[in-house]
Amino acid sequence: MLDIHCHFIPGVDDGAKDVATTLNMAKKAKSLGYNAIFATPHYIESSHETQKEDLLNSVEILNNMLKERNINLSIYSGNEIYYSRNVLELLQDEKVCTLANSRYFLMELPFTGKVLGLNELIQNITHVGYIPIIAHPERYDFVNQNYKELYDIIEAGALLQVNLSSILGYYGNKPKATVKKLLKNNMVSIIGTDSHDDKKIYDKFDMAKKKILKLISEDKWEKLTKINPSYIIEDKNIY
């Protein structure tokens, strides 16, 4: 499996607090069957603006660190980019990282309210070749009010990544109900962990997987956790 959403780099956002936590995250992820992790620290304009060069250096250091410790896990670069009208400029000016230097990038939306003009923005982004992956849509209020609004977002060219632990009610009952609808209606392209530490998500992985497999097939699970994420690394089209 490959995890495209993980706050893995120590000390840059609200994720891993130190190197020891990062190493424990790597060990647990590997033990659960992950072969690769995309490090996706928050990028929020005027708040969390980690320099791209610093992030790439951190990824290189972490890969070397894991190799030295015989932890066979590959780390790829990325960002969880918070919605901005300037997101296309941020990408074109290379201020943010796409996922594994591909066309794909992870974008977080505001949790409350609805973004006006979002479909048009997505169309403009995809028109020039980038492909947005909307992070954890089941956590947004407008989606919980009417998940079918995501059909237009998908039609505009975006993909959806849901969080593994949403199925357990980790973010509340509404996201739990919504993620079930998204999975049942074949609207999800990728399942990620959105891990911020070495305990909460990894320790509940088996329970979450079991519940998800009551909604989708084993083949679909493999597609959402392995095949589609691998297409990002290869920069192939995900349908």
Q: What domains, with CATH codes, occur in the chain?
A: 2-234 (3.20.20.140)
What pTM did the predictor assign? Answer: 0.97
238 phi and psi angles, rounded to 5 deg: -105, 125
Distance CA 71, CA 198 (A): 15
Q: In what order do the strands lie in the sheet with 2-6?
A: 2-6, 36-39, 74-77
What's the rounded Cα separation, in Å, for the pair 164 and 176?
A: 10
- The string of pLDDT tens digits covering residues 118-145 is 999 999 999 999 999 999 999 999 999 9
For residue 143, how far is the Cα from the chain centroid? Answer: 17
Name the β-bridge partners of 3.
Answer: 37
Pairing mode, if any, of strands 159-163 and 104-108?
Answer: unpaired
CB atoms under 10 Å from CB of 59, counted, come to 22
Q: Is 206 helix (H, G, I), strand (E, B) or coil?
A: helix
pLDDT in tens, 140-185: 999 999 999 999 999 999 999 999 999 999 999 999 999 999 999 9
- Pairing type for strands 131-135 and 159-163 reads parallel
Q: In 3D, which of 186, 191, 214, 189 has the Cα closest to residue 201?
A: 191
